[in-house]
Structure 1
Amino acid sequence: MPNARVLDVIEALLRAADHPDYQQVARYGRDTLPGGQSPAGVKALHKSGSTSMLWCAAEPRDAHPVPADAVDGMTGSMPARTLRLAHRLLDAARPPQFSRWELCAAPGVGWPESGKSPSALRITGSDGTVAYLRATAASGPGGGKAEPKEDPFPEWQVPDAIADAVPA
């Protein structure tokens, strides 16, 4: 499955989620394969002015799955918040284009524990191909201090019709 198709699904789910912390969701990058100079991804602008990104990367050789609850309690980390949201949306929507998705960690990557904290989503297409979406962030005005330390929208729920947002 081409990375562009994976990003189509992720972008559509993030938009349809209508999460109050996400003011804008947009695509960026020109690369069709991971590892180039302009990685393709989806970015979300947060209310704080910061941006979180999920972008196509080459999967590190030592990447390994971590439990879905590994992102619980990591509210202060924008990449972790975005990973948690994307994972929840995938669980609810169950896109037929994907056979599996899991949070991953890799040595030398991740916060607060390098190599143990989730830093990516590994998505397996129904055709068996794998996309590896790294999560990173860029601080807005006020830097990391502007980011919430607790979930600012604990009452938010995945919309019931989220599966309808998955592109054909």
Structure 2
Amino acid sequence: MSRVGKMQLALPAGVEAIISDHAITVKGPLGTLIQSLNGLVKIENVNGSLVFTAADVSREANAMWGTLRALVGNMVTGVTKGFEKKLNLVGVGYRAQAQGAKLNLSLGFSHPVVHEMPEGVTCVTPTPTEILIKGINRQSVGQVAAEVRAYRPPEPYKGKGVRYSDEVVTIKETKKK
């Protein structure tokens, strides 16, 4: 039995869930998200809350039960509050500048790095060393943050690079003679 799948998902005011045969659509104040459905999980709207049940008794159905409940829960959170990831640039001369749907990064390379933002994801730079990535789809926000971090991940000796704001980088001691 899935602990996550057993929990009902209450829909807040202003959020509407439309369940069809092959997909569930969640509409809210910030936008609309669509998730394809698996035949192993049944979804019902009961008195303004979504109830998830496994279609049969199998290992795959049990796994998809909790997974689909978590994905739809993230969709509801995304269309009401949204998601954001904060990145920090650590290093001399490391800067970021958001220009529309592009993020210009100066990361110590001989060339500037330009990262295109996908549809539904926005980027803001409150200071030259901070990047805020926002959107309603949790997966795409996390993916964009991971791609930006991958340009220059934090190195273990000085800690220079692009890191998440809550990331702890363990600094290694240098080699001794």
TM-score by length of 1: 0.25
Rg larger in structure: 2
Instruction: Point out which structure has higher relative CO (alpha carbons under 8 A, 6+ apart).
Output: 1
Which protein is richer in strand relative to its size?
2
